[in-house]
Amino acid sequence: MYDFTEKMEELILQYQELNKKISDPQIIKDHNLYQKLIKEHVKLKKIIDKYHQYTKVLNGIKEARTILDSEEDNDVKELAELELQELLPEKEQLEEELPLLLLPENPNDQKNVIVEIRAGAGGDEAGLFAADLYRMYSRYAEKMEWKTDVMNSNTSGIGGFKEIIFTVEGNEVYGRLKYESGVHRVQRVPSTESSGRIHTSTATVAVLPEVEEVDIEIDPNELKIDVYRSSGPGGQSVNTTDSAVRITHLPTGLVVTCQDEKSQHKNKAKAMRILRARINELYEQEQQAEIDEARKSQVGSGERSEKIRTYNFPQGRVSDHRINLTVHKLEQILAGELDLVIEELIREDTIKRLQKV
């Protein structure tokens, strides 16, 4: 169990100092500073109240055990035993909750995401695997009661995707899907393979927290916008109207295309959402020194080039290489039971982050 006692004592001292500060007339006059301290005070109070509840439970357990060891009256001992049966599970629950309260919050965890899946090595089979991954995330989103919306897709012609980009909206989406960024590998016999040989193919997944317009300012003068006729899905608009949009961000060279909507206006709006997320990712990469230090305490780096997971069809297993996890429930995972892996990733990530607290 993670020992949070020393950290809690530090927080209690901070809380006492905050109590003094928010009572200081000079600080009260400074509205911005006062509001900042009040927010910090509320957060610390929540943690400390939970810790006081924990110490109260510990004292209750100690008293109950003392009674069981020293009391001769059976009725009194029975009451102490009942109290112990109530307090011990509460103690375990609090020992799980308290360390999590000490972890710094990731502001991106609550955000919606843009997911980009691209076929990698393996030709048509890689495109089919990209489609499998898209279905897996779509089904997982349904189970989580999240909303998905395809932003852009480029089919491979045999039911697969060269690329598909979609949004996922809901509660704590990035907090759960952020572990999916990287190279996913599949090992199976393709339907087109007559000799029964197992092929290995890959697909790349990138999960980007969606960025609001107010968070990323994009100068319209730095954009080159081209419109052209759609070549993929789009109903009657395909090859008849200039509804597809290509946006190039001149300072970075980033290019985004969208053609799935019949409306040029809608395609442009979707392309801008993707562009903001990619520019934000680029800005974060430019601050690599800080990010690298933070990522050392996390599960995986989140880099697109990192091989993170293998889906082995002959053995019916899924292996996550970052935490040495193997689950023999491939069909269930591809059907959207992704928490079989994500919960373990969160648990391992939490343990590593706690070691840094």
Whether residues 177 and 240 share a domain: the answer is: no
Q: What is the pLDDT of residue 252?
A: 87
Whether residues 259 and 125 share a domain: the answer is: no
- Rounded Cα distance between 57 and 53, Å, is 6
Q: What is the pLDDT of residue 202?
A: 95
Whether residues 135 and 186 share a domain: the answer is: yes
Q: In this structure, what CATH number is given to the domain that contains residue 232?
A: 3.30.160.20
Q: What is the pLDDT of residue 95?
A: 87
| 331 three-state secondary structure | helix
Whether residues 186 and 57 share a domain: the answer is: no
Of 286, 317, 335, the last residue of a domain is 286
Whether residues 132 and 276 share a domain: the answer is: no
CA triple 135-126-268, angle to 5 deg: 60
Average pLDDT of 93-115? 84
| 83 three-state secondary structure | helix
Determine contact, residues 171/294, Cβ cutoff 8 Å.
no
Number of domains composing the chain: 3
Kindly tell me if the per-residue pLDDT of 298 is higher than 60: no
Helices 74-102 and 339-354 pack at an angle, to 10 degrees, of 90
Residues of the domain holding 59: 5-102
Whether residues 162 and 241 share a domain: the answer is: no
Q: What is the pLDDT of residue 144?
A: 95
Whether residues 273 and 301 share a domain: the answer is: no
Average pLDDT of 10-16? 91
User: Using one digit for the tens of pLDDT, what is the confidence trace for 211-225?
Assistant: 776 567 788 888 888
Average pLDDT of 271-293? 74
Residue where the block lists tokens 């442009």: 268
Which amino acid appears at position 195 of this protein? S
Q: What is the pLDDT of residue 235?
A: 41
